[in-house]
Chains A and B, each alone.
Chain A
Protein backbone atom coordinates (compact mmCIF):
# COMPACT_ATOMS: atom_id res chain seq x y z
CA UNK A 1 0.00 0.00 0.00
CA UNK A 2 1.34 3.32 -0.92
CA UNK A 3 1.33 6.11 1.58
CA UNK A 4 -2.23 6.96 2.17
CA UNK A 5 -3.14 10.60 2.06
CA UNK A 6 -3.58 11.90 5.57
CA UNK A 7 -6.94 13.37 4.67
CA UNK A 8 -8.33 9.88 4.25
CA UNK A 9 -9.67 9.37 7.72
CA UNK A 10 -9.91 5.93 9.29
CA UNK A 11 -13.67 6.04 9.68
CA UNK A 12 -14.07 6.19 5.94
CA UNK A 13 -12.16 2.95 5.53
CA UNK A 14 -14.76 1.11 7.55
CA UNK A 15 -17.84 3.16 6.76
CA UNK A 16 -17.77 4.39 10.34
CA UNK A 17 -18.05 0.94 11.85
CA UNK A 18 -15.98 -0.05 14.82
CA UNK A 19 -17.73 -3.14 16.09
CA UNK A 20 -17.03 -6.63 14.88
CA UNK A 21 -19.31 -9.61 14.71
CA UNK A 22 -16.63 -11.90 15.98
CA UNK A 23 -14.47 -11.50 18.98
CA UNK A 24 -11.13 -10.18 17.80
CA UNK A 25 -8.28 -9.54 20.16
CA UNK A 26 -4.84 -8.25 19.38
CA UNK A 27 -3.34 -11.72 19.67
CA UNK A 28 -6.10 -13.49 17.73
CA UNK A 29 -4.54 -15.47 14.94
CA UNK A 30 -5.65 -14.87 11.39
CA UNK A 31 -4.96 -16.89 8.28
CA UNK A 32 -6.17 -17.17 4.72
CA UNK A 33 -7.49 -20.65 3.93
CA UNK A 34 -7.41 -20.40 0.13
CA UNK A 35 -5.61 -17.44 -1.33
CA UNK A 36 -7.34 -16.10 -4.41
CA UNK A 37 -5.38 -13.51 -6.33
CA UNK A 38 -8.34 -12.56 -8.49
CA UNK A 39 -10.35 -11.84 -5.40
CA UNK A 40 -7.42 -9.89 -3.97
CA UNK A 41 -7.41 -7.66 -7.02
CA UNK A 42 -10.97 -6.62 -6.36
CA UNK A 43 -10.27 -5.45 -2.84
CA UNK A 44 -9.52 -1.94 -1.70
CA UNK A 45 -5.86 -1.38 -0.89
CA UNK A 46 -6.20 -1.84 2.85
CA UNK A 47 -8.25 -4.99 2.67
CA UNK A 48 -5.98 -6.33 0.02
CA UNK A 49 -2.82 -5.71 1.91
CA UNK A 50 -4.31 -7.39 4.98
CA UNK A 51 -5.56 -10.30 2.91
CA UNK A 52 -2.20 -10.80 1.28
CA UNK A 53 -0.29 -10.54 4.48
CA UNK A 54 -2.53 -12.97 6.29
CA UNK A 55 -1.50 -15.79 4.02
CA UNK A 56 0.85 -16.83 6.74
CA UNK A 57 -0.94 -17.25 10.01
CA UNK A 58 -0.42 -13.99 11.82
CA UNK A 59 -1.78 -12.24 14.84
CA UNK A 60 -4.08 -9.31 14.38
CA UNK A 61 -1.66 -6.87 15.96
CA UNK A 62 1.15 -8.02 13.75
CA UNK A 63 -1.00 -7.68 10.67
CA UNK A 64 -2.02 -4.20 11.67
CA UNK A 65 1.54 -3.13 12.28
CA UNK A 66 2.87 -4.73 9.15
CA UNK A 67 0.29 -3.19 6.88
CA UNK A 68 0.44 0.18 8.61
CA UNK A 69 -3.29 0.12 9.24
CA UNK A 70 -4.67 1.10 12.60
CA UNK A 71 -5.97 -1.66 14.80
CA UNK A 72 -9.54 -0.45 14.76
CA UNK A 73 -9.66 -0.52 10.97
CA UNK A 74 -7.83 -3.83 10.79
CA UNK A 75 -10.35 -5.48 13.06
CA UNK A 76 -13.34 -4.38 11.04
CA UNK A 77 -11.79 -5.27 7.70
CA UNK A 78 -10.65 -8.68 8.91
CA UNK A 79 -14.08 -9.26 10.35
CA UNK A 80 -15.63 -8.43 6.98
CA UNK A 81 -13.28 -10.79 5.22
CA UNK A 82 -14.08 -13.46 7.76
CA UNK A 83 -17.82 -13.20 7.20
CA UNK A 84 -17.35 -14.02 3.54
CA UNK A 85 -14.99 -16.84 4.53
CA UNK A 86 -11.96 -15.29 2.96
CA UNK A 87 -9.95 -15.31 6.12
CA UNK A 88 -10.06 -17.68 9.02
CA UNK A 89 -10.12 -16.48 12.58
CA UNK A 90 -8.53 -19.14 14.71
CA UNK A 91 -10.93 -19.75 17.52
CA UNK A 92 -8.60 -21.47 19.94
CA UNK A 93 -6.47 -18.40 20.17
CA UNK A 94 -8.97 -16.51 22.20
CA UNK A 95 -10.77 -19.17 24.20
CA UNK A 96 -9.12 -18.99 27.55
CA UNK A 97 -8.82 -22.16 29.61
CA UNK A 98 -9.88 -20.12 32.62
CA UNK A 99 -13.37 -19.26 33.55
CA UNK A 100 -13.91 -15.65 32.60
CA UNK A 101 -16.36 -15.09 35.39
CA UNK A 102 -13.93 -16.43 37.93
CA UNK A 103 -11.18 -14.23 36.63
CA UNK A 104 -13.38 -11.17 36.84
CA UNK A 105 -14.27 -11.96 40.44
CA UNK A 106 -10.64 -12.49 41.22
CA UNK A 107 -9.79 -9.16 39.69
CA UNK A 108 -12.49 -7.38 41.61
CA UNK A 109 -11.32 -9.00 44.81
CA UNK A 110 -7.78 -7.86 44.18
CA UNK A 111 -9.00 -4.35 43.50
CA UNK A 112 -10.78 -4.28 46.80
CA UNK A 113 -7.63 -5.37 48.56
CA UNK A 114 -5.56 -2.72 46.87
Chain B
Protein backbone atom coordinates (compact mmCIF):
# COMPACT_ATOMS: atom_id res chain seq x y z
CA UNK B 1 0.00 0.00 0.00
CA UNK B 2 2.88 2.28 0.80
CA UNK B 3 4.36 1.73 -2.59
CA UNK B 4 1.08 2.53 -4.18
CA UNK B 5 0.90 5.79 -2.33
CA UNK B 6 4.34 6.75 -3.45
CA UNK B 7 3.61 6.03 -7.05
CA UNK B 8 0.38 7.88 -6.87
CA UNK B 9 2.00 10.85 -5.32
CA UNK B 10 4.90 10.78 -7.72
CA UNK B 11 2.57 10.56 -10.62
CA UNK B 12 0.47 13.35 -9.27
CA UNK B 13 3.45 15.49 -8.53
CA UNK B 14 4.90 14.99 -11.97
CA UNK B 15 1.62 15.81 -13.52
CA UNK B 16 1.19 18.92 -11.50
CA UNK B 17 4.73 20.17 -11.51
CA UNK B 18 5.29 21.26 -15.12
CA UNK B 19 2.13 23.22 -15.48
CA UNK B 20 -0.46 23.84 -12.88
CA UNK B 21 -2.60 25.38 -15.53
CA UNK B 22 -4.30 22.15 -16.51
CA UNK B 23 -5.00 20.16 -13.40
CA UNK B 24 -8.57 19.76 -14.49
CA UNK B 25 -7.88 17.44 -17.40
CA UNK B 26 -6.67 14.40 -15.47
CA UNK B 27 -9.31 14.87 -12.84
CA UNK B 28 -12.16 14.59 -15.25
CA UNK B 29 -10.96 11.34 -16.70
CA UNK B 30 -12.82 8.41 -15.20
CA UNK B 31 -13.21 9.57 -11.64
CA UNK B 32 -14.85 6.35 -10.61
CA UNK B 33 -11.88 4.26 -11.64
CA UNK B 34 -9.44 6.49 -9.94
CA UNK B 35 -11.19 6.55 -6.62
CA UNK B 36 -9.41 3.78 -4.75
CA UNK B 37 -6.01 5.14 -5.54
CA UNK B 38 -7.06 8.60 -4.54
CA UNK B 39 -8.52 7.41 -1.30
CA UNK B 40 -5.63 5.32 -0.21
CA UNK B 41 -3.32 8.16 -0.82
CA UNK B 42 -5.39 10.74 0.90
CA UNK B 43 -3.91 11.09 4.34
CA UNK B 44 -0.31 11.66 3.36
CA UNK B 45 -1.36 14.66 1.31
CA UNK B 46 -3.42 15.82 4.27
CA UNK B 47 -0.42 15.68 6.47
CA UNK B 48 1.70 17.51 4.01
CA UNK B 49 -0.95 19.96 3.14
CA UNK B 50 -0.76 21.44 6.57
CA UNK B 51 2.93 22.02 6.22
CA UNK B 52 3.83 22.40 2.62
CA UNK B 53 1.22 24.03 0.51
CA UNK B 54 -2.40 24.78 0.46
CA UNK B 55 -2.46 23.87 -3.19
CA UNK B 56 -2.60 20.24 -2.34
CA UNK B 57 -5.70 20.83 -0.32
CA UNK B 58 -7.33 22.71 -3.13
CA UNK B 59 -6.48 20.02 -5.63
CA UNK B 60 -7.64 17.21 -3.42
CA UNK B 61 -10.81 19.03 -2.67
CA UNK B 62 -11.49 19.44 -6.33
CA UNK B 63 -11.01 15.73 -6.76
CA UNK B 64 -13.29 14.99 -3.89
CA UNK B 65 -15.97 17.30 -5.16
CA UNK B 66 -15.86 15.85 -8.63
CA UNK B 67 -16.00 12.33 -7.39
CA UNK B 68 -18.85 13.28 -5.11
CA UNK B 69 -20.71 14.99 -7.92
CA UNK B 70 -20.28 12.04 -10.23
CA UNK B 71 -21.36 9.68 -7.54
CA UNK B 72 -24.50 11.69 -6.84
CA UNK B 73 -25.27 11.62 -10.52
CA UNK B 74 -24.73 7.92 -10.76
CA UNK B 75 -26.78 7.40 -7.65
CA UNK B 76 -29.73 9.10 -9.28
CA UNK B 77 -29.48 6.93 -12.36
CA UNK B 78 -29.11 3.75 -10.40
CA UNK B 79 -31.98 4.65 -8.15
CA UNK B 80 -34.22 5.25 -11.12
CA UNK B 81 -33.23 1.92 -12.60
CA UNK B 82 -33.79 0.14 -9.30
CA UNK B 83 -37.25 1.54 -8.92
CA UNK B 84 -38.38 0.09 -12.23
CA UNK B 85 -36.59 -3.20 -12.10
CA UNK B 86 -38.73 -6.29 -11.65
CA UNK B 87 -36.23 -8.95 -12.51
CA UNK B 88 -34.46 -10.29 -9.44
CA UNK B 89 -31.15 -10.97 -11.15
CA UNK B 90 -30.89 -7.61 -12.75
CA UNK B 91 -31.96 -5.94 -9.56
CA UNK B 92 -29.16 -7.68 -7.75
CA UNK B 93 -26.69 -6.36 -10.29
CA UNK B 94 -28.10 -2.89 -9.82
CA UNK B 95 -27.76 -3.29 -6.08
CA UNK B 96 -24.11 -4.15 -6.53
CA UNK B 97 -23.57 -1.06 -8.63
CA UNK B 98 -25.42 0.99 -6.08
CA UNK B 99 -23.34 -0.48 -3.31
CA UNK B 100 -20.08 0.30 -5.05
CA UNK B 101 -21.26 3.78 -5.83
CA UNK B 102 -22.25 4.34 -2.23
CA UNK B 103 -18.76 3.39 -1.13
CA UNK B 104 -17.23 5.72 -3.68
CA UNK B 105 -19.34 8.49 -2.25
CA UNK B 106 -18.24 7.63 1.24
CA UNK B 107 -14.58 7.76 0.31
CA UNK B 108 -14.99 11.08 -1.40
CA UNK B 109 -16.68 12.41 1.71
CA UNK B 110 -13.88 11.07 3.88
CA UNK B 111 -11.39 12.78 1.66
CA UNK B 112 -13.13 16.04 2.30
CA UNK B 113 -13.24 15.38 6.02
CA UNK B 114 -9.52 14.76 6.07
CA UNK B 115 -8.97 17.97 4.19
CA UNK B 116 -10.77 19.72 6.98
CA UNK B 117 -13.63 20.78 4.80
CA UNK B 118 -17.22 20.95 5.85
CA UNK B 119 -19.20 18.69 3.61
CA UNK B 120 -22.27 20.06 1.96
CA UNK B 121 -24.48 17.03 2.10
CA UNK B 122 -27.37 16.78 -0.24
CA UNK B 123 -30.78 16.30 1.27
CA UNK B 124 -30.10 16.85 4.92
CA UNK B 125 -32.85 15.82 7.21
CA UNK B 126 -33.62 14.83 10.75
CA UNK B 127 -32.58 11.21 10.73
CA UNK B 128 -33.85 8.52 13.06
CA UNK B 129 -31.06 6.54 14.71
CA UNK B 130 -32.27 3.47 12.90
CA UNK B 131 -31.71 5.23 9.61
CA UNK B 132 -28.36 6.51 10.78
CA UNK B 133 -27.35 2.92 11.36
CA UNK B 134 -28.76 1.72 8.09
CA UNK B 135 -27.24 4.57 6.14
CA UNK B 136 -23.90 3.76 7.70
CA UNK B 137 -24.42 0.10 6.90
CA UNK B 138 -25.15 1.00 3.29
CA UNK B 139 -21.68 2.35 2.80
CA UNK B 140 -19.58 -0.54 4.08
CA UNK B 141 -18.44 -3.55 2.18
CA UNK B 142 -19.82 -6.37 4.30
CA UNK B 143 -23.17 -4.86 5.01
CA UNK B 144 -25.14 -8.11 5.34
CA UNK B 145 -23.24 -8.96 8.49
CA UNK B 146 -24.45 -5.95 10.40
CA UNK B 147 -27.29 -6.74 12.75
CA UNK B 148 -29.39 -4.08 14.33
CA UNK B 149 -29.98 -4.57 18.02
CA UNK B 150 -32.06 -2.50 20.35
CA UNK B 151 -32.62 0.96 18.99
CA UNK B 152 -33.92 3.87 20.96
CA UNK B 153 -36.52 5.80 18.99
CA UNK B 154 -34.79 9.12 18.71
CA UNK B 155 -33.40 11.05 15.81
CA UNK B 156 -30.26 13.02 15.11
CA UNK B 157 -30.73 16.63 14.15
CA UNK B 158 -30.27 17.76 10.60
CA UNK B 159 -26.86 19.34 10.78
CA UNK B 160 -25.22 16.45 12.58
CA UNK B 161 -26.92 13.44 11.04
CA UNK B 162 -24.56 12.99 8.14
CA UNK B 163 -21.49 13.30 10.31
CA UNK B 164 -22.81 10.71 12.71
CA UNK B 165 -23.49 8.48 9.73
CA UNK B 166 -19.90 8.91 8.60
CA UNK B 167 -18.51 8.15 12.05
CA UNK B 168 -20.61 5.05 12.35
CA UNK B 169 -19.72 3.99 8.83
CA UNK B 170 -16.04 3.89 9.67
CA UNK B 171 -16.59 2.08 12.95
CA UNK B 172 -18.81 -0.49 11.29
CA UNK B 173 -16.33 -0.87 8.51
CA UNK B 174 -13.55 -1.60 10.97
CA UNK B 175 -15.76 -3.95 12.92
CA UNK B 176 -16.77 -5.98 9.89
CA UNK B 177 -13.36 -5.90 8.31
CA UNK B 178 -11.45 -7.10 11.36
CA UNK B 179 -13.74 -9.87 12.46
CA UNK B 180 -14.37 -13.35 11.07
CA UNK B 181 -16.34 -13.27 7.84
CA UNK B 182 -19.11 -15.39 9.29
CA UNK B 183 -19.57 -13.47 12.50
CA UNK B 184 -22.05 -10.68 12.77
CA UNK B 185 -21.56 -7.19 14.06
CA UNK B 186 -24.25 -5.84 16.32
CA UNK B 187 -25.19 -2.18 16.50
CA UNK B 188 -27.44 -0.84 19.16
CA UNK B 189 -28.42 2.53 20.56
CA UNK B 190 -29.30 3.25 24.15
CA UNK B 191 -30.51 6.29 25.97
CA UNK B 192 -28.32 7.34 28.86
CA UNK B 193 -29.42 9.02 32.04
CA UNK B 194 -28.12 12.34 30.82
CA UNK B 195 -30.31 12.20 27.76
CA UNK B 196 -27.50 11.43 25.39
CA UNK B 197 -27.46 8.34 23.26
CA UNK B 198 -24.85 5.65 23.31
CA UNK B 199 -24.27 3.84 20.05
CA UNK B 200 -22.51 0.52 20.45
CA UNK B 201 -20.80 -1.43 17.73
CA UNK B 202 -19.86 -4.87 18.92
CA UNK B 203 -17.79 -7.27 16.87
CA UNK B 204 -16.32 -10.67 17.50
CA UNK B 205 -12.95 -9.96 15.98
CA UNK B 206 -9.43 -10.28 17.22
CA UNK B 207 -9.52 -6.91 18.87
CA UNK B 208 -7.13 -4.00 18.71
CA UNK B 209 -3.59 -4.61 19.87
CA UNK B 210 -3.54 -3.70 23.56
CA UNK B 211 -0.50 -1.49 23.21
CA UNK B 212 -2.18 0.53 20.48
CA UNK B 213 -5.47 0.96 22.21
CA UNK B 214 -4.55 3.88 24.51
CA UNK B 215 -3.03 5.82 21.64
CA UNK B 216 -6.06 5.25 19.46
CA UNK B 217 -8.43 6.27 22.20
CA UNK B 218 -6.37 9.36 22.84
CA UNK B 219 -6.55 10.18 19.18
CA UNK B 220 -10.31 9.65 19.17
CA UNK B 221 -10.64 11.85 22.22
CA UNK B 222 -8.66 14.54 20.46
CA UNK B 223 -5.88 14.63 23.01
CA UNK B 224 -3.23 13.14 20.75
CA UNK B 225 -2.04 13.74 17.26
CA UNK B 226 -4.16 12.17 14.57
CA UNK B 227 -1.57 9.68 13.48
CA UNK B 228 0.26 8.20 16.44
CA UNK B 229 2.73 5.77 15.00
CA UNK B 230 3.59 7.17 11.63
CA UNK B 231 1.62 4.55 9.76
CA UNK B 232 -1.28 6.53 8.51
CA UNK B 233 -2.77 3.85 6.32
CA UNK B 234 -3.48 1.51 9.20
CA UNK B 235 -6.04 3.59 11.01
CA UNK B 236 -7.38 5.62 8.20
CA UNK B 237 -10.98 5.26 9.16
CA UNK B 238 -10.33 6.22 12.74
CA UNK B 239 -8.61 9.40 11.67
CA UNK B 240 -11.81 10.37 9.93
CA UNK B 241 -13.76 9.40 13.01
CA UNK B 242 -11.49 11.50 15.23
CA UNK B 243 -11.96 14.55 13.05
CA UNK B 244 -15.71 14.26 12.91
CA UNK B 245 -15.99 13.44 16.58
CA UNK B 246 -14.10 16.58 17.38
CA UNK B 247 -16.28 18.65 15.08
CA UNK B 248 -19.57 17.36 16.47
CA UNK B 249 -18.44 16.73 20.04
CA UNK B 250 -19.11 13.05 19.85
CA UNK B 251 -17.24 10.85 22.27
CA UNK B 252 -15.84 7.79 20.60
CA UNK B 253 -14.19 5.05 22.53
CA UNK B 254 -12.78 1.63 21.76
CA UNK B 255 -12.71 -1.22 24.24
CA UNK B 256 -11.41 -4.75 23.94
CA UNK B 257 -13.82 -7.12 25.55
CA UNK B 258 -12.43 -9.85 27.75
CA UNK B 259 -14.55 -12.39 25.97
CA UNK B 260 -12.93 -11.38 22.70
CA UNK B 261 -13.83 -8.79 20.17
CA UNK B 262 -13.97 -5.04 20.26
CA UNK B 263 -16.71 -2.69 21.25
CA UNK B 264 -16.75 0.77 19.78
CA UNK B 265 -19.01 3.28 21.45
CA UNK B 266 -20.17 6.65 20.25
CA UNK B 267 -21.78 9.00 22.68
CA UNK B 268 -24.08 11.39 20.88
CA UNK B 269 -24.65 14.44 23.07
CA UNK B 270 -28.12 15.50 23.98
CA UNK B 271 -28.08 18.64 21.90
CA UNK B 272 -27.69 16.61 18.72
CA UNK B 273 -30.79 14.57 19.40
CA UNK B 274 -34.44 15.17 18.84
CA UNK B 275 -37.68 13.29 18.52
CA UNK B 276 -38.37 11.20 15.48
CA UNK B 277 -39.62 13.11 12.49
CA UNK B 278 -43.36 12.94 12.19
CA UNK B 279 -44.50 10.05 10.11
CA UNK B 280 -45.98 11.22 6.90
CA UNK B 281 -47.14 7.85 5.77
CA UNK B 282 -50.75 8.71 6.47
CA UNK B 283 -50.95 10.81 3.39
CA UNK B 284 -48.09 9.59 1.29
CA UNK B 285 -48.85 7.58 -1.71
CA UNK B 286 -45.70 7.53 -3.69
CA UNK B 287 -42.04 8.17 -3.71
CA UNK B 288 -42.20 11.57 -5.31
CA UNK B 289 -44.44 12.91 -2.66
CA UNK B 290 -42.35 11.36 0.02
CA UNK B 291 -39.47 13.49 -1.13
CA UNK B 292 -41.46 16.67 -1.12
CA UNK B 293 -42.65 16.54 2.41
CA UNK B 294 -40.09 18.46 4.35
CA UNK B 295 -38.77 17.12 7.62
CA UNK B 296 -39.98 18.94 10.67
CA UNK B 297 -38.03 21.76 12.18
CA UNK B 298 -34.95 20.89 14.11
CA UNK B 299 -35.01 20.27 17.80
CA UNK B 300 -38.51 21.06 18.58
CA UNK B 301 -41.13 19.00 20.30
CA UNK B 302 -42.63 17.11 17.45
CA UNK B 303 -46.14 18.06 18.45
CA UNK B 304 -45.45 21.50 17.08
CA UNK B 305 -43.95 20.33 13.89
CA UNK B 306 -46.80 17.96 13.45
CA UNK B 307 -49.25 20.80 13.71
CA UNK B 308 -47.40 22.91 11.25
CA UNK B 309 -47.34 19.95 8.94
CA UNK B 310 -51.04 19.50 9.40
CA UNK B 311 -51.66 23.06 8.44
CA UNK B 312 -49.82 22.63 5.22
CA UNK B 313 -51.56 19.43 4.42
CA UNK B 314 -54.95 20.31 5.74
CA UNK B 315 -56.39 20.10 2.27
CA UNK B 316 -55.78 16.38 2.10
CA UNK B 317 -56.08 15.34 5.71
CA UNK B 318 -59.31 14.33 7.21
CA UNK B 319 -59.16 16.55 10.28
CA UNK B 320 -56.89 15.42 13.06
CA UNK B 321 -55.06 12.36 12.01
CA UNK B 322 -53.65 10.53 14.98
CA UNK B 323 -51.07 8.67 13.00
CA UNK B 324 -48.10 10.04 14.91
CA UNK B 325 -49.68 8.58 17.96
CA UNK B 326 -49.95 5.30 16.17
CA UNK B 327 -46.28 5.38 15.48
CA UNK B 328 -45.66 6.32 19.05
CA UNK B 329 -47.86 3.98 20.92
CA UNK B 330 -46.72 0.86 19.19
CA UNK B 331 -43.05 1.26 19.51
CA UNK B 332 -42.69 0.33 23.08
CA UNK B 333 -39.77 2.07 24.73
CA UNK B 334 -40.49 5.55 23.60
CA UNK B 335 -43.04 6.55 26.16
CA UNK B 336 -40.28 6.92 28.71
CA UNK B 337 -39.02 10.31 27.63
CA UNK B 338 -39.64 13.15 25.29
CA UNK B 339 -42.45 15.61 25.36
CA UNK B 340 -45.12 14.44 27.68
CA UNK B 341 -48.44 16.08 27.31
CA UNK B 342 -51.70 15.25 25.72
CA UNK B 343 -50.23 12.96 23.16
CA UNK B 344 -49.49 10.27 25.66
CA UNK B 345 -53.16 9.57 25.70
CA UNK B 346 -52.90 8.26 22.19
CA UNK B 347 -50.36 5.75 23.31
CA UNK B 348 -52.63 2.78 23.78
CA UNK B 349 -53.61 0.72 20.83
CA UNK B 350 -57.24 1.77 21.18
CA UNK B 351 -56.65 4.52 18.69
CA UNK B 352 -55.85 2.04 15.98
CA UNK B 353 -59.20 1.67 14.37
CA UNK B 354 -59.84 5.35 14.14
CA UNK B 355 -56.35 5.95 12.92
CA UNK B 356 -56.75 3.36 10.26
CA UNK B 357 -60.05 4.62 9.03
CA UNK B 358 -58.61 8.05 8.73
CA UNK B 359 -55.64 6.57 7.01
CA UNK B 360 -57.52 4.39 4.64
CA UNK B 361 -60.00 6.89 3.34
CA UNK B 362 -57.82 8.90 1.00
CA UNK B 363 -56.22 5.84 -0.48
CA UNK B 364 -59.36 4.57 -2.09
CA UNK B 365 -59.98 7.61 -4.17
CA UNK B 366 -59.29 6.94 -7.82
CA UNK B 367 -56.63 9.61 -8.26
CA UNK B 368 -54.65 8.59 -5.25
CA UNK B 369 -51.94 6.83 -7.17
CA UNK B 370 -51.72 9.19 -10.05
CA UNK B 371 -51.80 12.63 -8.58
CA UNK B 372 -49.87 13.80 -5.62
CA UNK B 373 -51.22 17.21 -4.87
CA UNK B 374 -54.84 17.09 -5.85
CA UNK B 375 -56.20 14.30 -3.77
CA UNK B 376 -59.85 15.06 -3.14
CA UNK B 377 -60.83 13.41 0.07
CA UNK B 378 -64.27 12.00 -0.37
CA UNK B 379 -66.28 13.67 2.34
CA UNK B 380 -65.11 17.19 3.07
CA UNK B 381 -65.65 19.85 0.49
CA UNK B 382 -62.35 21.64 0.75
CA UNK B 383 -62.00 24.57 -1.56
CA UNK B 384 -58.37 23.95 -2.27
CA UNK B 385 -59.17 20.57 -3.68
CA UNK B 386 -61.97 21.94 -5.75
CA UNK B 387 -59.64 24.49 -7.21
CA UNK B 388 -57.10 21.96 -8.17
CA UNK B 389 -59.61 19.63 -9.75
CA UNK B 390 -61.16 22.53 -11.57
CA UNK B 391 -57.76 23.55 -12.75
CA UNK B 392 -57.05 20.01 -13.84
CA UNK B 393 -60.33 19.91 -15.71
CA UNK B 394 -59.57 23.20 -17.41
CA UNK B 395 -56.18 21.90 -18.42
CA UNK B 396 -57.72 18.74 -19.79
CA UNK B 397 -60.28 20.71 -21.70
CA UNK B 398 -57.60 22.95 -23.15
CA UNK B 399 -55.60 19.92 -24.17
CA UNK B 400 -58.66 18.39 -25.75
CA UNK B 401 -59.40 21.54 -27.71
CA UNK B 402 -55.81 21.75 -28.82
CA UNK B 403 -56.01 18.15 -29.94
CA UNK B 404 -59.10 18.82 -32.01
CA UNK B 405 -57.47 21.81 -33.65
CA UNK B 406 -54.46 19.77 -34.40
CA UNK B 407 -56.46 16.97 -35.91
CA UNK B 408 -58.50 19.35 -38.01
CA UNK B 409 -55.45 21.05 -39.36
CA UNK B 410 -53.94 17.74 -40.18
CA UNK B 411 -57.12 16.55 -41.82
CA UNK B 412 -57.61 19.67 -43.90
CA UNK B 413 -54.66 19.36 -46.25
CA UNK B 414 -55.54 15.76 -46.88
CA UNK B 415 -59.15 16.56 -47.75
CA UNK B 416 -58.00 19.43 -49.92
CA UNK B 417 -55.39 17.32 -51.52
CA UNK B 418 -57.61 14.34 -52.21
CA UNK B 419 -59.38 15.73 -55.31
CA UNK B 420 -56.10 16.10 -57.11
Which A residues form the contact surface with B (CB < 8 A)? Answer: 1-13, 15-16, 18-20, 26, 37, 40-41, 44-45, 48-49, 52, 55-56, 62, 65-68, 70-72
Q: How distant is A59 from chain B, measured CB to nearest CB, in Å?
A: 11
State whether A1 and B285 are in contact (beta carbons under 8 Å apart), knowing that A7-B165, A41-B332, A45-B130 are contacts in the complex.
no
Tell me if B276 counts as interface (CB < 8 A to partner A).
yes
Tell me if B137 counts as interface (CB < 8 A to partner A).
yes
Interface of A is mostly: loop
Structural contact, A66 and B135, CB atoms closer than 8 A = no
Q: How distant is B157 from chain A, measured CB to nearest CB, in Å?
A: 13
CA distance A2 to B276 in the complex (A): 8
Residue among A6, A45, A56, A65 with most chain B CB within 10 A: A6
Structural contact, A5 and B92, CB atoms closer than 8 A = no
Structural contact, A66 and B285, CB atoms closer than 8 A = yes
CA distance A49 to B284 in the complex (A): 12
A-B CB proximity, top 9 nearest:
A7-B135, A9-B138, A11-B95, A41-B330, A18-B88, A2-B277, A18-B91, A68-B290, A8-B134
Which B residues form the contact surface with A (CB < 8 A)? Answer: 82-83, 85-86, 88-89, 91-92, 95, 98-99, 102, 122-123, 125, 127-128, 130-132, 134-135, 137-139, 143-144, 148, 161-162, 165, 276-281, 284-287, 289-291, 293, 295, 330-332, 349, 352, 356, 360, 363, 369
CA distance A40 to B98 in the complex (A): 30
State whether A67 and B98 are in contact (beta carbons under 8 Å apart), knowing that A12-B143, A37-B349 are contacts in the complex.
no
Structural contact, A7 and B130, CB atoms closer than 8 A = no
Q: How distant is B65 from chain A, measured CB to nearest CB, in Å?
A: 18
Nearest-CB residue, chain A, relative to B121: A7
Of A16, A48, A56, A70, the residue contacting B143 (CB under 8 A) is: A16
Of A9, A19, A48, A68, the residue contacting B287 (CB under 8 A) is: A68
CA distance A28 to B154 in the complex (A): 36
A15 to chain B: which residues have CB within 8 Å?
A: 143-144
Nearest-CB residue, chain A, relative to B76: A6
Structural contact, A20 and B278, CB atoms closer than 8 A = no
Residue among A1, A2, A9, A44 with most chain B CB within 10 A: A2
A45 to chain B: which residues have CB within 8 Å?
A: 130
Structural contact, A65 and B86, CB atoms closer than 8 A = no
Q: How distant is B359 from chain A, measured CB to nearest CB, in Å?
A: 9
State whether A66 and B363 are in contact (beta carbons under 8 Å apart), knowing that A3-B291, A11-B98 are contacts in the complex.
yes
State whether A1 and B279 are in contact (beta carbons under 8 Å apart), knowing that A10-B82, A41-B331, A65-B286 are contacts in the complex.
yes
Could you jot down 9 A-B contacts, CB within 8 Å? A1-B281, A1-B284, A6-B122, A7-B139, A8-B131, A12-B138, A16-B99, A18-B92, A70-B82
